[in-house]
Amino acid sequence: MQNDAQQQAKAMFAGGCFWCMEAPFEKMNGVYEAVAGYAGGTTVKPTYENYHRNGHIEVVEVVYNPDKITYEQLLGIFWQQIDPTDEGGQFVDRGHGYSTAIFYYDEAQRVAAEKSKKQLEAQNVFNKPIVTPILPAPAFYPAEDYHQDYYLKSPTRYKMYRVGSGRENFLKKTWG
């Protein structure tokens, strides 16, 4: 994580497998880190073994410098990593634990998220309705260390998973 005493803000996104959501954010100038974790469920300190049974979903918490990258830019990155029309999960990962959501920390984030969703709907990129909800940010629980920065720790397995899950082909077909 960059450690310059500049301004920090947080954003939280659920886009299915958190392994696939860290890298696109962490590669952006102005993002300090994207932390894989769990949110939205009924238990405190969920684990990979129990998060789905307790209503949590996989998320990334993005810590960023709003002087270098805007929340609107983060929203653009988010939308281009997911299938926002799929209520049942993302790609090969099925079930509530892999659903999509934008979690906002304040009114400005809520307004920006709603605006970005309307703009995406107006673009007519998808043949089905966009079902990704925009919700108040719940408590965030970091995932276990072995899940953090998986794309760096196991780059070959990460790439195989992105392709094998169907995510990579969907994103290329949708966004070019």
Q: Describe the chain by its helix, strand, coil percentages, rounded to 5.
A: 40, 20, 40
Cβ contact 65:6 at 8 Å: yes
Residue 20 among the catalytic residues: no
Cα-based angle 9, 22, 8 (whole degrees, multiple of 5): 10
Distances from the Cα of 130 to the Cα of 74, 78, 166, angstroms: 18, 13, 19
The catalytic position among 12, 17, 31, 102 is 17
Sequence letter at residue 77? I
* C-beta of residue 45 within 8 angstroms of C-beta of residue 144: no
CA distance 114 to 28: 23
Q: Which residues are catalytic?
A: 17
